[in-house]
Amino acid sequence: MSKLLPAAGRKAVVAAATAGVVAVALVASSASGAGQRPTVKKPTIVLVHGAFADASSWNGVVKHLKRDGYPVIAPANPLRNLQSDAEYVRSVVDSVSGPVVVVGHSYGGSVLSEAVAGDRDVKALVFVASFMLKPGESTTDLSGKFPGNVLAVSLDEVPFPMPGGGSGTDLYVQQRKFGAVFAPDVPRDIADVMAATQRPVTAAALNGQATKAAWTSIPSWNMIATDDLAIPVKAQRYMAERAGAHTVEIKASHAVTVSRPQAVASLIDRAARSTSR
């Protein structure tokens, strides 16, 4: 055919053929893209530790969450006063752009529920061996509502000076009892380090009454530690049931974030995935 067509005609045929190939490629690419789901940004996970612990108690959980591609923040919970602790955690959550899942362990649950009530960016709450207070309740109220709290009688009271004058009371778990009552399923050498580096909580913080309950309006997940000697299992079930939380139970101590980090991370992942549906 090229011998029968003049040069100009041959160029026109080549151009048309090329255009046709490009068009087919564009259509194929478009069709392929139409079948793919858009990439959904993973929510940021904010981990709030509880009393007698610090942010390092989340280390194992953080490792699993980071491996799964989640942005993670584990701030230092002040453990000074329920309201001021909540304000601090709220400031951390407010600093995050986009959707957030907030997770609390122990007293951290009391704080997060107070902190994020009404926050539209918080898509899910996860309570891990934790308190789920309603307005008018304190952490102390719920820890003593059912028998089985061995931790309460294993505390030392240490007075400290208040910035504006007067004094407060810090509570520490007695180091010789820490492993047995707080972390019996954690290796002894690790539990000993946890005991030495524990962050005290004030009596005022544990006695502070909640004024809000974020779990009444934000979907919640709950991990109940059945061997917990700090929050009796009956208390954990009571709080989870009245909150209508998506609940799992695990044979673990109060230090479940240290002894069973993968299980904790899996529950957080489940809650986070629900935010993209």
pLDDT in tens, 95-114: 999 999 999 999 999 999 99
Element (H, E) at 130: strand 122-130
- pLDDT exceeds 50 at position 14: no
pLDDT in tens, 220-276: 999 999 999 999 999 999 999 999 999 999 999 999 999 999 999 999 999 999 987
The confidence score (pLDDT) of residue 233 equals 97
- pLDDT exceeds 50 at position 20: no
Phi, psi of 54 (to 5 degrees): -140, -175
Which residue is listed with tokens 């047995």?
A: 180
Q: CA-to-CA distance for 56 and 158, rounded, in angstroms?
A: 23
Dihedral sign computed on CA atoms, order 218, 224, 228, 231:
positive
Query: Could you give the angle at which helices 59-67 and 261-274 cross, rounded to 10 degrees?
Result: 50
Give me the residues paired with residue 100 across strands: 44, 122
Contact between 258 and 52 (Cβ < 8 Å): no
